[in-house]
Structure 1
Amino acid sequence: MSRNPCSLVLLAHPDPAGSRVNSALAAAVCDLDDVTVRDLATVRRAGGFDVAEEQRLLVEHDTVVLQFPWYWYSVPGILKEWMDHVLLRGFAYGSEGTKLHGKTLQVVTTTGGPGESYQPGGYNRFTMSELMRPIDATAHLCGMPLAEPFVVHGVYHLDEAALAEYGARYRALLTGDEQRATA
């Protein structure tokens, strides 16, 4: 399969330095050619985000990766704020908001609970696909196909070998080596 020409990874963790798993995942892909990792916690200013800069980066990349820890069945506040400021009518949606049409939206998220807890009848009652419907709706509104989410469950119990394997799978996902990414 062909390689994704250019991916923008938006790391949306309020404390990336304090995050063992999200930091390791970002570190696993930051040296890839044609991958830009943008830590939203470090680029957010007192007044919010530089909308023109964020929109410029979106236009320049073919795949937009939202990487974040799953917080209260949604995205963290910093990512919601980024969406509110950057995905504006006339840019991302609306009759003239076509700048993101055809770009791929890829979700990379981590959960504290095990995968089986995200099932009907499980602890969290719903599947991740069901819980991600607002992200799917956002992608649709922006004219972006939503790729199969890359979910790392049970992060509190991952040993270093498992974390390294997830990092390798994430690299494979962004380089287009799907066989390795799904192994």
Structure 2
Amino acid sequence: MKTLVIVFHPAIDKSVANKRWLQELARHPQRYTIHHVHQAYPDGNIDVAQEQALVEAHGNVVLQFPLYWFNCPPLLKKWLDDVLAYGWAYGTGGVAFKGRKVALAVTAGIRQEDFTPEGKWRVTLAQLLAPFDVTLDYVGAEKRPFFAFYGAEDGPKEAGYAERLESSAHDYVRFLAAL
């Protein structure tokens, strides 16, 4: 079955890293379905039945998003609140994610060395993403490691940025293929 990549980016047209990842995935339409939640629901009103049907129609699920203020974009939180409903994702009869492989793909504006206990922010990206781990455990998903691109805000002014981004896009495809 195909992998569903659910994209939560409120300004994907202005993105560099997320947009590049999606360009690479678009080269493999037989393997990946790309679903832009902000484009599908510009008013923020999520069609829960449609989202649940999309998940059910795919073998693996990837939540792709930029880190916003050391957290996820608000629409991703709303999606989790609305779509992961009792009786569907958890609770009595809630088996939609049981055994389904789920991963996160995250872009962080800050450099990787700043996401260490000794770094500028004194926390790791894994620590910031811990609520997702607990959520995925709660719904019985087979959680996979996260994929990350650090230093996205450095952009073209960083020497080697274009090469690092290009490498990341190809690594992302390999990461998804190995789910």
- After TM superposition, the score normalised by the length of structure 2 is 0.91
Write the distance in 1 (CA, Å) between the matches of 2:174 and 2:118: 33
Is 1:12 paired with 2:14? no
Equivalent residue, structure 1, for 2:166: 164
The amino acid that maps onto 1:14 is: P
The separation in 2 between residues aligned to 1:156 and 1:45, in whole angstroms, is: 25
Are 2:44 and 2:75, in contact at CA under 8 Å, matched by a contact in 1?
no
Q: Is the 8 A contact 2:59 2:100 kept in 1?
A: yes
Within-5 A mapping of 1:17-28: 17-28=13-24
Q: d(CA) in 1 for partners of 2:36 and 2:47? A: 13
Give 5+ residue unaligned stretches, structure 2.
156-160
Shift of 1:123: 1.2
Query: Is 1:133 aligned to 2:133, yes or no?
Result: no
Is the Cα contact below 8 Å between 2:38 and 2:44 reproduced in 1? no
- SS of the aligned residue for 2:20 comes to helix
The answer to whether the aligner puts 1:88 opposite 2:90 as a matched pair is no
Q: 1:153 to 1:45 in 2, by over 3 A?
A: closer
Letter in 2 for 1:160: A
Aligned 1:33-72 pairs, distance under 5 A? 33-44=30-41, 46=43, 48-72=45-69
| CA distance, structure 1, for counterparts of residue 94 and residue 25 of structure 2 | 30
Q: 1:169 to 1:39 in 2, by over 3 A?
A: same
Amino acid at match of 1:19: S
Given that residues 11 and 26 in structure 1 are in contact (C-alpha distance below 8 angstroms), is that contact kept between their aligned partners in structure 2? no
What's the RMSD between the two structures over aligned residues?
A: 1.5
Alignment match, 1:181: none
Amino acid at match of 1:100: F
1:84 Cα deviation from its structure 2 partner: 1.4
Q: What count of residue pairs does the alignment treat as equivalent?
A: 173
**Distance in 2 between the 1:13 and 1:153 partners?**
16
SS at match of 1:108: strand
Report the AA paired with residue 162 of structure 1. Answer: R
Equivalent in the alignment of 2:158: none
- The list of structure 1 runs, each at least 4 consecutive aligned residues, that deviate by more than 4 angstroms after superposition, is none
Structure 2: which amino acid aligns with 1:99?
Answer: A
User: Within 1, Cα distance between the matches of 2:16 and 2:133?
Assistant: 27
State the Cα distance separating 1:148 from its structure 2 match.
0.9
TM-score, normalised via structure 1 length: 0.89
- Structure 1: segments with no counterpart, 5+ residues: 179-183
Question: Of the candidates 104, 112, 115, which is equivalent to residue 112 of structure 2?
Answer: 115
Q: Which residue identity is paired with 1:28?
A: E
